[in-house]
Structure 1
Amino acid sequence: MKILIYGINFSPELTGTGKYSGEMAYWLANAGQEVRVITAPPYYPEWSVHENFSSYKFRKEEGAVITYRCPLYVPSSLSLLKRLFHLTSFALSSLLPLIRQKTWKPDCIICIAPTLFCVPGMLLLSKWCNAKSILHIQDYEIDAMLGLEMVKKGFFSRLATAYERWCLTNVNLVSTISKSMMKKAIDKGVPEDNVFFFPNWSEIERFKFIDEESVIQLRRELNIEVGKKVILYAGNIGQKQGLETVIDVAQVMTDSIFLFVGEGGGKEKLERLSREKKLENILFKPLQPYEKLPVLLKLADCHLVIQRRGAADAVLPSKLTNILAVGGNAVITADEQTELGQLCLQEPGIAICVPPESSAQLALGIKQSLGLPKLNLKAQAYANEFLDKESILARYLNILKNI
């Protein structure tokens, strides 16, 4: 089967959508499928194009997966207009290599959202090649913008919502990563039979047996004082999280180390707040190599999965899968009716859920988490049953074959 994956984020990005798109592409190729990818040069979460890649040149990469890299604009600082230009630049530059796939004649085209700007091109190619079109939703970008009040309600928000509905209802199938996001697709007009569950996963075996000496060594490399409890936030440091509440909690919990590992548009602001408050128990470290991720997660006594109110059902933090796999104790900020809130209610003990945007509630959740055994067997059992990479991708391949 010929499968074309079309999306702005891809390997070698280590976090977020690019990580999962890359792993999916190579898994499908290893399973005997012909896979091609149209994507951009890696830039996330640093919002800077990686070394040895170019933001203004086309590039073709040969291998098990044939990858076409397309130019795009990467802003040094984020605003709504810059982000829109960023997404549009990729949608436009990728049209030429996309249309050239007409001669290859893919059997199915998987468009990864963000960004919805790529959907018209996918639909055009699928019509020419009689290929099936699948829209995979990692984030509801329109809902996130509205929920975080990046866009005020009015003509533009109505236009964006109408365009999103058109995208969702004109593809053959819509997949997404949570049950609440599936319901959201149905509420937006997608027939229930055209929506299916395709969750993010974890490489379970990598997170099961971690050498304690490796943990001690990484602790030394990160200059973390012996005996201190470590509260870890790892991943994208952006606007959707509302991480300022963590700074407030660090002011109170001075006997613990708050470790931020990652990059993103909100990192500079957090560093500035930390300096202004003269907090010596906050450490900022760059994104760690992927091979060190299991050790990094095992190092933490408490993991933070932080989101602002309004984003919790539009996006689902991918970091949670690996936290559960390593048996970590997580504190999640989410309202009860959201996907994450319901997960904590339906699976008691899997994590601690507190209301978003409340420093006091977050502090209580962290203190409760630190009082638990460091290995969360409930979380690990859930990951083993529902988040195994091999099982999830094998089911997905069967769905592709059936359509």
Structure 2
Amino acid sequence: MRILVVGLNYAPEPIGIAVYTAGLAERLAECGHTVRVVSGKPYYPQWKLVDGYQGGWRTTTENNVTITRCPIYVPADPNGKKRLIHHASFALSIAFPITATALSFRPDLVLSIAPSLASAPIAWLAAKLARARSWLHIQDFEVEAAFATGLLDSNSPIARTASGFERRVISLFDRVSSISPEMCAKLVKMGIPADRIVEFRNWAGIAPVLQTSQASRYRTEWDIQTPHVALYSGNIANKQGIETVLEAAALLRDRRDITFVICGEGPNLAKLRKDAGDASNLQFRPLQSVERLPDLLQLATVHLLPQKADAADLVLPSKLTNMLASGRPVVATATMGTGLAREIEDCGIATEPGNAVAFAAAIEQLIDDHALWERYAGNARTRAKTRWDKLNTIASVMASMEEVIRPTHREAA
């Protein structure tokens, strides 16, 4: 197959959607397919262009994938309106490169990744110009997530326009995929026929079983003296609700056996540090390299996955896959019955979003009940193997891609 991938985020961004877009493109290339990517310049999660990527359009070949990286507006303070401009800048920046690539490369399939949905119509048009099939993969329902996290007022004219735009764009594509059963069910509710929907999960990026008897090197590097660590690692932004971690740390400050570690970067980091004050049982650490991710995750006794209530079925945090793969229980904030709550069932504890008392109690329960910890840890490793395997996931999606292009595969030839 000849596949053109369009996505705002791509390597070398170390976390989030970029990891999966790059992983998919490189795996497709490994399997003998010809892959080209049109993406934005790397900026996430710092919301600052990575050094060496300033300037205009640039095309390189990396790991057998040809990548055109396009200049974009990156706001230092990404509020609702600035994010809209950010996404619009990507759509405008890719318009010529993607059209030219579609006409010269003649792909069989154009795969658009959302976010950014703003670029999806251009990807769809490129597919039409190339007489290719179109596929939209939804990592986040951007509009509803913006409502849930307060970035957009759901009653504003902009919000109503954005909701209509989202539904219309999604309906254009020959195939639409998303990363969880609940997000796929949402597509059905939006009017997308079930036979056009594919579940395409993210995958665990580390080996499912770690040598748990070996202590993490971060214990020494960060001078962690307590036997237990409650770890949050990832982006620090609106939808995470990380203030619950601060509140839980304050509630458990009299326990001398737990250190809370927040390891990450993002637009809310400065405020979070200020709110934490001089808490003695809490450490802030910068985002760590992908190469050291297994060692970082092994530091945790329990992983922390806070999330705002209204975002539970609109996004499925990509960090969950590696949390489970590390063989550690998870404490998440998710209403029972939501997709996130179901994903961690028997691998951790889901508590009411925003309820720091319940969140702290769940952390204590897992630390104090060793038998429960062992059971959930084993279940987490097993789930990572059976549900979040990279090669099996991509193989299934490749089969769906081949199926969708088959009816018109070079009929014009």
Structure 2 distance, partners of 1:221, 1:26, is: 33
- What TM-score, normalized by structure 2, do the two folds share? 0.92
Aligned counterpart, 1:108: 109
Aligned counterpart, 2:34: 34
Unaligned segments of structure 2, at least 5 residues: 405-413
**Aligned 8 A contact 1:108 1:134 in 2:** yes
Amino acid at match of 2:284: F
Structure 1 distance, partners of 2:45, 2:295, is: 21
- What TM-score, normalized by structure 1, do the two folds share? 0.95
Q: State the secondary structure of the residue aligned to 2:43.
A: coil
Structure 2 distance, partners of 1:164, 1:118, is: 11
Deviation of the 1:148 alpha carbon: 2.4
**Aligned 8 A contact 2:212 2:298 in 1:** no
Structure 1 stretch displaced more, 175-184 or 155-164? 155-164
Classify 1:294/1:372 alpha carbon distance in 2 versus 1 (closer, same or farther; 3 Å).
farther
Amino acid at match of 2:171: T
Deviation of the 1:95 alpha carbon: 0.9
Amino acid at match of 2:220: R
Question: Which residues in structure 2 correspond to 1:197-236 (within 5 Å)?
Answer: 197-203=199-205, 206-210=207-211, 212-213=213-214, 215-225=215-225, 227-236=226-235
**Aligned 8 A contact 2:148 2:311 in 1:** yes
Q: State the secondary structure of the residue aligned to 1:94.
A: helix
Structure 1 distance, partners of 2:369, 2:391, is: 31
Structure 2 distance, partners of 1:96, 1:289, is: 34
Structure 1 distance, partners of 2:359, 2:218, is: 27
Structure 2 distance, partners of 1:175, 1:372, is: 39
Aligned counterpart, 1:148: 149
Structure 1 distance, partners of 2:195, 2:307, is: 31
Q: Deviations over 1:137-161 (max 9, x none)?
A: 0000001012223322142222111
Q: State the secondary structure of the residue aligned to 1:62.
A: strand
Structure 1 distance, partners of 2:72, 2:310, is: 29
Deviation of the 1:132 alpha carbon: 0.8
Aligned counterpart, 2:273: 271
Q: State the secondary structure of the residue aligned to 1:279.
A: coil
Structure 1 stretch displaced more, 371-380 or 176-185? 371-380
Aligned counterpart, 1:184: 186
Deviation of the 1:242 alpha carbon: 1.3
Aligned counterpart, 2:20: 20
**Aligned 8 A contact 2:325 2:380 in 1:** yes
Q: State the secondary structure of the residue aligned to 1:262.
A: strand
Aligned counterpart, 2:124: 123
Question: Which residues in structure 2 correspond to 1:1-400 (within 5 Å)?
Answer: 1-54=1-54, 56-63=55-62, 64-101=64-101, 102-152=103-153, 153-203=155-205, 206-210=207-211, 212-213=213-214, 215-225=215-225, 227-254=226-253, 255=256, 256-275=258-277, 278-344=278-344, 347=345, 349-373=346-370, 375=374, 376-400=377-401
Deviation of the 1:377 alpha carbon: 0.5
Structure 2 distance, partners of 1:292, 1:231, is: 18
Classify 1:372/1:59 alpha carbon distance in 2 versus 1 (closer, same or farther; 3 Å).
farther
**Equivalent residue pairs, number:** 394
Classify 1:40/1:299 alpha carbon distance in 2 versus 1 (closer, same or farther; 3 Å).
same
Structure 1 distance, partners of 2:105, 2:35, is: 11
Q: State the secondary structure of the residue aligned to 1:72.
A: coil
Structure 2 distance, partners of 1:21, 1:140, is: 17
Structure 1 distance, partners of 2:205, 2:243, is: 31
Structure 1 distance, partners of 2:234, 2:149, is: 19
Structure 1 distance, partners of 2:192, 2:66, is: 32
Amino acid at match of 1:195: I
